Amino acid sequence: MAKVKVSAFSISIDGFGAGPRQSLENPLGVGGHALHDWAFATRTFQRMFGKEGGASGIDDDFAARSFENVGAWILGRNMFGPIRGPWPDESWKGWWGDTPPYHVPVFVLTHHPRQSIVMQGGTTFHFVTGGIRLALEKAREAAGGKDVRIGGGVATIQQYLRVGLIDELHVAISPALLGSGERLFTDINLVELGYRCTEHVATPKATHLVLSR
């Protein structure tokens, strides 16, 4: 059965999923890049950026798995870009250039309506102003029987977790400290929500944990 899942989501030792002060220069917040060292080093990510090489092994297995059977994505507004409030114009089309690494429909949560954007390589950005449940409904429909992947950020994942809509959450704890930013597990009781740890593998670069209900 198709799942709603979060995959390859990295957090710091002190629990942050993004650094503070996100901006055009720091899409992941200040210091946030360090969270993703394990992922950037993998063959899967190197290939995504059109490069040769990269590491195989456990980190790469998780990176590769994160893209398997994904029929649609859901992103929070801040993961789509640094602009807050109403869209000033149609120029911002995400952080990822003309050919984003999604290759399927991507539903962006926002309070501000905007026309869908068809990108190269199969990615279409749709903007949903009707809330997280409507976005999931649309994503499920678009996914055509495949999984829906919730990409983030922290606030978006928290919203879906709190209403019990995430089936599987793969978190990678990186050996980095961020000090401040957005904490993933604040004010969420994962035990009450029915999650348990169903997989635990550690590598020199990250500790991978899969939480499932």
Between residues 117 and 193, which has the closer beta carbon with respect to a second copy? 193
Work out which of 24, 134, 163, 197 binds a second copy, going by CB under 8 A.
197
**Is residue 196 a contact point for a second copy (CB under 8 A)?**
yes
Whole-number minimum distance, CB 88 to a second copy, in Å?
Answer: 33
User: Is there a contact between 185 and 157 (Cβ–Cβ < 8 Å)?
Assistant: no
Work out which of 40, 67, 92, 185 binds a second copy, going by CB under 8 A.
185
**Is residue 36 a contact point for a second copy (CB under 8 A)?**
no
- How far is residue 195's CA from residue 201's CA, in Å, rounded to a whole number? 18
- How far is residue 5's CA from residue 165's CA, in Å, rounded to a whole number? 9
DSSP secondary structure string for all residues of 164-185: T--SEEEEEE-S---SSSEETT
Angle between helices 132-143 and 154-162 (to 10 degrees): 90
Report 6-25 residues binding a second copy (CB under 8 A): 13-15
Work out which of 29, 31, 32, 153 binds a second copy, going by CB under 8 A.
31
Between residues 46 and 212, which has the closer beta carbon with respect to a second copy? 212
Q: What's the DSSP call for residue 38?
A: H
Residue with tokens 């500790």: 207
Specify the stretch interacting with a second copy by CB under 8 A; choose among 65-73, 138-146, 160-168, 174-182: 174-182
DSSP secondary structure string for all residues of 90-111: S----SS-SS-S--SEEEEE-S
Whole-number minimum distance, CB 72 to a second copy, in Å?
Answer: 27
Question: Residue numbers of the site for a second copy (CB under 8 A)?
Answer: 13-15, 31, 171, 173, 175-180, 185-186, 188-193, 195-197, 200, 202-204, 207, 209, 211
